[in-house]
Amino acid sequence: MEMLGAILELGKRILAPISEYYKYHRSVDEHMKNLKRKQDDLECKKLDIELKMRAELLPRKKPKREVKFWLQKVETINADIQNIEQEAERGKYFSRMHVGKIACKKIQEVTELIDQSCGFGESLEIDPPVSYGDELPTRALVGESTAEITMEKIWEHLLDEDCRMIGVYGMGGVGKATIMKQINNRLLKEKDKFNHVIWVTVSKAFNVIKLQNDIASMLHPNPLKSEDETTRAGKLYAALKEMKKCVLILDDLWNAFPLENIGIPEPTLENGCKLVLTT
């Protein structure tokens, strides 16, 4: 009996790989069809994600690391599937078992990638580190009571939730820019009040595209692409709209213009933003 049991066990060990070989050899065509269907599903998911990224990503933002890594894995697995298809097309008898086996493995990997994409959440991008602005060189206002009083009034208006836009005007040389530079630097020191401080000098030679580029350069390293003013305004508007509690200071303004022509959202209580103009 012991001898018979040993013979049966040996037979099982011999037949197991043969059975496995036959299973993959016989079903290779079915496995390849299933793999192709799964690959098509994965490609649809990839295209949906790329389309959503193009719609969501603003100049200030970048894709999540997990999304970038997922897209890289999709490219890798597509290359693997192409190699499997090439081996299947060669149709060598002894390679069919190998093709069927790795096709089953790739089906599982593709399924896992599709499932993984469902965990990205609603947003595919992340915000970069908050940029508070740049400190500007300026002289002190010590002993200049009128300038100090003016600066405190402007500061009070900035902290007033009901005040969204502030105009600072006066003859050239009276110290408007100096006061606003002091305000700019003071805002940078008190970061709990606003998230971003953007200073742009407009100057007399007003140009819509230049102003759009100057503002955009404060949001990200690259300027807006060369497109018509309206399209550029739309992109700038989308970027600025994402910024909460932002102070935009436009210094040395000579010409009136509608905010929407540039792409500047109207400051509201909801976005917590302020617009300061010196002229």
Size of the chain, expressed as the number of residues it contains: 279
* 228 vs 210: CA distance, rounded Å: 13
Please write the tens of the pLDDT for every residue from 135-147: 667 677 655 677 7
pLDDT of residue 43: 92
Nearest C-alpha neighbor of 134 from the set 193, 179, 178, 196 = 196
* 21 vs 25: CA distance, rounded Å: 6
Domain 145-278 belongs in CATH node 3.20.20.80: no
On the question of pLDDT at 102 being above 70, the answer is: yes
Please write the tens of the pLDDT for every residue from 5-19: 555 454 445 444 544
In 3-state terms, what secondary structure has residue 163? coil
Beta bridge partners of 35: none
Q: Which residues contact 247 (CB under 8 A, 6 or more apart)?
A: 158, 187, 194, 196, 197, 198, 273, 274, 275, 276
On the question of pLDDT at 92 being above 70, the answer is: no
pLDDT of residue 4: 46
Specify the pTM: 0.53
* 104 vs 83: CA distance, rounded Å: 14
Please write the tens of the pLDDT for every residue from 20-42: 554 555 677 787 888 889 889 98
* 49 vs 75: CA distance, rounded Å: 14
